[in-house]
Chain A
Amino acid sequence: MTATEAARERRTGVGDVLLDVRDLRTHFEVMDGTVKAVDGVSFSLRQGGRLALVGESGCGKSVTALSIMRLIEVPPGKFAGGEILFEGRNLLKLNDREIRKVRGGEIAMIFQEPMTSLNPVMTVGDQISEAVLLHQPVNRKGAQEVALQSLVDVGVPDPKRRLKQYPFELSGGMRQRIMIAMALSCNPKLIIADEPTTALDVTIQRQILELIKNVQERTGTALLLITHDLGVVAETVDEVAVMYAGRVVETGTVEEVLLSPRHPYTRGLLESIPSQGKKGQRLSAIKGVVPNPFRMPKGCKFEPRCPYAWQAGADEEPPLFDLGPDRMSRCWLYDPRYADHLAEYEGRAPKKSAEVAS
């Protein structure tokens, strides 16, 4: 059984669909017009599954995560279309009370900045037990016990003393552990981790990733990881959805996407990772910049930066072409009419992108 098959097995074997985001559109009304931060994002995640949303800054991955938690401020934000089905319920249709039950209780979130994501004037114990009290039928004392247990679960040394400490007494890595403990404390079905290691030292990053992975495997909760780091993706998740300009441009298992990218953008991302195999070579980069949200290209959003671009469907946006089970690409290459272009794309083989996955 190849790694890809194993991953697929695991994916299909995990269970029913837990989270199904369908054609999500989150727009922001600002002074100069409408910013379509998320414009047609679809992906799904099974119970206990692990999916990464990958993309550059500003591609809409964080907005997608915040939309799932309904943490987008409305206005200026606006859910212009689509639905977010969590266990069959559309989260966008829940009222304030109902969504508060989901937040923390069923979906927990770990934020990017552990240094500022804890309230400076509350003790660690109080902050964890606040969430516990909201979602579990326990009293204050019981909540403190749950808090202690979740600190034990994330391997915080001397957990009893930690409960009484304030965030300023802890290091960044320790704070991120506490954020993870907080997320775990209510046994959520899904944990969304928004760039959980970006703000940490490299030495701590690995520990925290290992911890998240461990915890995910132990508790069987699903994981939605938001990151721009393909190295993190390779180590942590089974499936990937690559985002560009507010859209999902490619989905597949980690092995599929990282070893044989089916979208020029993904290939560009992979080629721009420095690695030992490329020593002495000039590091390649995707030319150009992310499109201005007020002046989006009409057809394919990546076309102006795409090294393989030709005048395909000029003004028409490519659909997500289905390339197998949960394998999709939003590129005209996969339109049967352009088979010769696809041959050329495949001919220009990636230089060393295989290394990322190894």
Chain B
Amino acid sequence: MDSGATLEELEQRPDYDVQLESLNQWQLAWRRFKRHRMALLGSALFLFMVVVGLIGPFIIPYDDTKIGLPDAKFNAGRPPSIAHLFGDTGRLHRDVLTLVVNGTRLSLLIGVLASAISAIVGTFVGGIAGYFGGWLDTILMRIVDALLSLPLLFVILAFSQFLGEGHASWPTMVLIFGMFGWLGIARLVRAVMLSLREEDYVDAARAAGVSDVRIIFRHLVPNSLSPIIVATTLGVAGVIIGEAFVSFLGFGVDPATPTLGNILSGALEFISQGNWWWAFFPGAAIVLIVLGINFMGDGLRDALDPRAKV
């Protein structure tokens, strides 16, 4: 019946397949995301901080390395004024707004890059372990278990001390957080792979001669993107907090380069002298970024859930 028809004839043939308004999974997800009010608020917050980090440094009239003249009357820093909206720091009189804007840029950069590394390494390790199973899975997952059982914060402190001698460059921080951030993602991806590899389309692909590596990365990873995206998004917030913590303790990025954490670190000494603005503004920036990411992540989790109702 069908054989022998030409392309032209088939173009003309009535199509009995029901034509629904068909949306792919990303369009459906976007539709659900748009209805999630907190997620929209979170995304707006996050985007705002990204814009601040990206273009802020070019708008602010001050240089983040600029030091003010000593002022005996205001040794603990000058409070917010028209000239310095967020006030300035104690002792060196650096402009807090300038520091926060630059710190936001660097903290976000560290967070995003470290999470990207985590996502790539985690997907790779988890994908291989989950798909192949057997001894490979056992070895890789025991390594993950072993690393996860270490008190990570102290390991990270030790690493930054070792790699940067207390004055690490920001790429070193990216590396350190990337090195330990992939563990959770690897577990997640492995779990997803364990169920996906039983899908019929995997058998169909194997029957077509597709290699295992190609099946993992071309067929299965795209099918497990949703949980990876959610985990990576939330991971950005985790790294930003972690970096702030490490820098606050003085083990992070060199204090001359402002990240949100080491701005806070400098502020500690002057809080008791009434300088609240030095600590408040970078602290608020951290809260806004992390809150924004977490709301956004929650929204993504709901939006990307294939079982969710439209």
Contact = CB atoms under 8 A, between A and B. Distances in A.
A155 B209 contact: no
B138 interface: no
Interface in B8-40: 10-11, 13-18, 20, 22, 24-25
Contacts of A111: 200, 203-204, 207
Contacts of B24: 166, 168
Nearest to A170: B17
Given A104-B208, A121-B223, A157 B200 contact: no
A155 B210 contact: no
B3 A215 contact: yes
Contact of B15 (A102, A122, A131, A158): A158
Contacts of A118: 201, 204
Contact of B223 (A108, A119, A159, A160): A119
B135 to A, nearest CB: 12
A111 B18 CA distance: 23
A229 interface: no
Contacts of A169: 20, 22
A103 B207 contact: yes
Contact of A101 (B6, B204, B209): B209
Contacts of A108: 207-208
B7 interface: yes
Nearest to B221: A121
B304 to A, nearest CB: 12
Nearest to B7: A152
Contacts of A71: 203, 206-207
A158 B3 contact: no
A130 B208 CA distance: 9
Contacts of B204: 109, 111, 117-118, 179, 182
Interface residues of B, number: 34
Given A116-B200, A152-B5, A69 B13 contact: no
A155 B2 contact: yes
B222 interface: yes
Nearest to B13: A157
A113 B200 CA distance: 8
A157 B207 contact: no
B209 A131 contact: yes
A211 B1 contact: yes
A215 B5 CA distance: 12
Interface string B201-223: 10111111111000000110011
Nearest to B19: A169
B165 interface: no
B145 interface: no
Query: Among B3, B11, B208, which residue has the most Cβ atoms of chain A within 10 A?
Result: B208
B5 A104 contact: no
Contact of B209 (A103, A117, A119): A103
Contacts of A157: 10, 13-17
A159 B7 contact: yes
Given A120-B223, A134-B209, A157-B14, 17 more contacts: A69-B206, A103-B206, A104-B210, A109-B207, A111-B200, A111-B203, A116-B201, A120-B25, A131-B210, A152-B5, A152-B6, A156-B10, A169-B20, A170-B17, A171-B17, A211-B1, A214-B2
B269 interface: no
A77 interface: no
A207 interface: yes
Nearest to B207: A109
Interface string A107-143: 0110101001111111000000011001100000000
B199 interface: yes
B23 to A, nearest CB: 9
Interface string A91-109: 0000000001111110011
Nearest to A179: B204
Contacts of B223: 119-121
A165 B219 CA distance: 16
A157 B13 CA distance: 6
B227 to A, nearest CB: 14
22 contacts: A69-B206, A71-B203, A71-B206, A100-B211, A103-B207, A103-B209, A104-B210, A105-B209, A116-B200, A117-B203, A117-B204, A118-B201, A119-B219, A122-B222, A130-B205, A152-B5, A155-B2, A155-B5, A157-B16, A159-B11, A171-B17, A210-B2
A111 B211 CA distance: 19
A148 B206 CA distance: 22
A348 interface: no
B274 to A, nearest CB: 58
Contact of A159 (B1, B10, B200, B219): B10
A115 to B, nearest CB: 8
Nearest to B220: A119
| Most chain B Cβ neighbours within 10 Å, of A117, A215, A218 | A117
A333 interface: no
Given A108-B207, A170-B17, A117 B201 contact: yes
Contacts of B205: 119, 130
A169 B23 CA distance: 8
A154 B15 contact: no
Contacts of B208: 103-104, 108, 130-131, 134, 182
B140 to A, nearest CB: 19
Contacts of B14: 157
Contacts of B20: 169
A174 interface: yes
A211 B200 CA distance: 22
B10 A155 contact: yes
A102 B205 CA distance: 13
B13 A158 contact: yes
A69 B207 contact: yes
Contacts of B18: 171
Nearest to A148: B7
A345 B64 CA distance: 100
A157 B206 CA distance: 28
Contacts of B22: 165-166, 168-169
